[in-house]
Every structure is written in structure tokens, then in C-alpha cells.
Amino acid sequence: MHLTQPSAPLLDIAAIRTEFPILQRMVHGNKPLVYLDNAATTQKPTVVIDSISEFYRQHNANAHRAGHVLGAEVTSMYERAREVVAESIGARADEVVFTRGTTESLNLLATSIGARLGPRLAEGNIVLTEMEHHANIVPWQMLRERSGVEIRVIPLTDDGALDMGRASQLIDASTLVVSCVQVSNTLGTENDVSTLCQWAHAVGAISIVDAAQSVSSMAIDVQQIGCDALVFSGHKVYGPMGIGCAFIRRELLSDLPPYQGGGSMITNVSFDKTTYADGPMRFEAGTPNIEGAVGLCTALQWRNALDLRDVQSYKKMLTDELVAGLRLRSGVHVHGAHHGHSGIVSFSIDGVHPQDVGIMLDTHGVAVRTGHHCTMPLMKRIAPQGTVRVSAAVYTSHDEIAQFFHALDRVMKVLL
């Protein structure tokens, strides 16, 4: 089966690929790596790898603690990273909290918001969506166990979009928090988060956006979105693992109690009383992941140097190519409508377990994700056994898509 070759991208994909050393790897002896698991984690360009190495070779020290030259350098680097994150999402630096990633950011918000709301939780509700990652479900369930707050779930339409009519009914005067994903990590669906945030604010609720899957290719502006908080992970935007961010609007941040206690998040400690630091540092107890912040800073600068409109156009091209090719194959079911540019496509094959497909694709050098993708409630509706998920990045080539389909055809001949 052959598809019409798309027109040449505005981006120089061949040049971009040379910046990612791992893409030159051979696996299983003599097979070129075809990495199509970018929704799980993106690969890292040389500049990011070098920035982390340089940190340890020339600057290694702790931030906000020592008066010596290394301490001063590292503090400056760490705070510069905070500024770059803020600039990249339309926020202020004093609204950016460094965390270990999206999961910790959401746990921080659920815990601190829960402590702030207190008794109001028992009479209120939290609104999520049916397509949320477990990281945006479990922390709120833990809060429900402690407080009795109701959790409401916005359902999906049959084509994998949010039922916005139902959402408008579920968000009401008793809603305290609306927390939703911007781009589904399973379906690739892009949600109208701005409207959800507007509805949340109209009833006095706090609005939170999970941007883990959107930040790599979308221009994020928290002012335009109108959210109170937005979270993402560094490793999904060409940066290192173990680092992420929580944008928390200044008015909300100033009103939230600390998430953890320890060094750096205080101004004064006695055995009688502790006074907490103001701003983001109140949520950054202990030694921070400084090298991660430095790597994330470099990754975002690398991303920001791209024309994100071209990135979106190219990833839409790849998404369309994947969806069209899968739909040509008998017995293959593509889940979701796929009108956007996420590069994320989930599919299943009649009578075949997705794990078998993933294992066999790997023998051909093709790396994909199989299973429930940390979205079990969604998967119970669309594919109880799980799906095969293919996810492209800005460095994914048309040749790699062709190699994927070639390998898939060989796998299907064996399994069907």
C-alpha cells in the first residue's frame, strides 16, 4: 500500500534529525531505530545533553545557599531557567514552580488546593474529563477520600471529542475545580480548554490545564487560555526527565499552603513556629533538580527557536499520514477523530492483542507504546485490551512512517 508523498515541509527535518544523537542508533543488530513513542518521552538534542554535562563539569553546586562563586553561578542559572519557562508560556517568573514533572505538579495542586478549600470540599465538586491521564485522576480521588468532595466526569462523544454540552451542565455553582488535559495522550484530541476555563471562572472555580502533550508543538499562552494553573513535564519537550513545572497564577499561588516542608521554602524556623517563603520557593523544599532545570531551559530555548506554526503544520501532516495509512488496512481500527496536529494515533487490530503488535514491531526496530497509556477509564470505553499508540515528533521523518507501515504489514501477516 502506498500513500501520496506529502509536500515538502517548511522545516528542515533532515537537519533537525542530526541534532538528536539517538536517532542514529541501530537496534537488534542492524536495524535503524524508528522511534515513534514520543508521547511517552521525546528524545534530546545535543545542546540539551551538552548543557547538563557542562553544568556538572563547570558549575556543580547548590542554588540559593552558598555565597561562593559556584553557588552564585548556579543560582543565576536556576533562576534564568525559571524566566525562560515563564517567557515560553506567557507567565511571570514568580508564577513558575519547578517540580519533578506533570504528576508532581498535579499532586501539589490537588493537595494545596484541597488544604485551602477545607470544609467547602464536602459540599462541592471537581470536574475532570473522561480522557484524563491517571496523574489528573488519582490525586483528586485521594482528595475525595480525605474530604468527601464529589468528582464529576465530562464524557466523550463517539468520535473522541469532549461533550461540551454536557460539560456546561456539569460545571455549576458547586464546582470548585475544573482540571482538564489540553491534548489527550491516548487519542491526540485537542480540547477547547479556554472555554472550560471561562466556564470555571464564571462559577468561581479554579481552572487547571494539563499541557504535557501540547507544549512540544503548540504556542502556550496562559493569559489567552485564561487558566489559573498549567502543568507540563520537561521530558516531553526535548528536555531531561525528573523536571517539570507548575504555572500557578500569582493570586492563587499566594493563597496556597506549602505542599512539602524542608529547606529553602522558609524564611524563619523555630521550634515554636515556621514562616514560609513567598512565591514559588514556598513549593520547592529541599535541593532542587538544578541540572534538570538547566536542561529544560535549553530545551525550551531550542523549541522556541522553531516556528511553531511550521511544527504544527508538519505534525498535522504526519498525523494525517498515519491515520490514512492505518485506515487503508483491513481489520485496523483508529480511535479518535484526529483533526489536529498532535502526532498521536492509537489503533487496534481485530483479534490481535496490542502487546503482541508492539513486541513484533520492536523486532523490526520500530518503537511504539502499547497498553492503556495510563488512561484506564478511557480505555474501558474504547478498547478494553488497550491499543497500539504511534506518536510522532518534529524529528520524525516520512521515511520512518513508511518503515513503520512496512513493519506493520509484516507483523499483520504473521498475527492474522
Active site annotation includes 245: no
Contact 1, 326 (CB under 8 A): no
Residue in this structure with the C-alpha cell 558549575, named with its chain if needed: 59
Q: Which of 180, 197, 245, 374 is catalytic?
A: 374
The answer to whether the Cα torsion of 405, 407, 413, 416 is positive or negative is negative
**Cα–Cα distance measured from residue 220 to residue 184, given in angstroms and rounded to the nearest whole number:** 16
Contact 114, 103 (CB under 8 A): no
User: Other CB atoms closer than 10 Å to residue 218's CB: what's the count?
Assistant: 19
Could you list the active site residues? Answer: 374
